[in-house]
């Protein structure tokens, strides 16, 4: 069964991932990515979207030209879960 991460686990998670921070309510994690142009930003979003479908775990995001802001949270547990960690790990992997 999927469980919500504790506040301590959530803080540890974002501290281990460069650039990620907890949302103000502590129920999610957020990071902004900057790309060369819109095409690169959209290509990134496409990669994430395809993986999110495979994982059945979808981000909340916002795109303005070359910037993409991603918020990860697990609505089923009203907070962060291992699903968020797994998707964040994938995102970090493709942006290295």
Q: Where are the domains of the chain?
A: 7-94
Vertex 95, ends 88 and 61: CA angle to 5°? 55
> How far apart are alpha carbons 64 and 67 in whole angstroms?
5
Residue 93 has pLDDT above 90, yes or no: yes
Residue 1 has pLDDT above 90, yes or no: no
pLDDT tens, residue by residue, 54-73: 999 999 999 999 999 999 99
> How far apart are alpha carbons 92 and 10 in whole angstroms?
17
> How far apart are alpha carbons 35 and 49 in whole angstroms?
17
Overall pTM surpassing 0.75 (yes/no): yes
Q: Count Cβ atoms below 10 Å from residue 84 Cβ, excluding itself.
A: 24
Domain 7-94 has CATH 3.30.1360.20: yes
């Amino acid at each position: 069964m999927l469980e919500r991460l504790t506040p301590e686990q959530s803080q540890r998670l974002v501290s281990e991932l460069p650039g990620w921070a907890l949302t103000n309510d502590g129920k999610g994690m957020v990071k902004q990515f900057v790309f060369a142009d819109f095409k690169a930003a959209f290509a990134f979003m496409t990669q994430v979207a395809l993986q999110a479908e495979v994982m059945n775990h979808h981000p909340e995001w916002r795109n303005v030209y070359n910037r993409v802001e991603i918020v990860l949270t697990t609505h089923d547990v009203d907070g962060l879960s291992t699903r968020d960690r797994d998707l964040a790990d994938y995102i970090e992997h493709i942006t290295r």
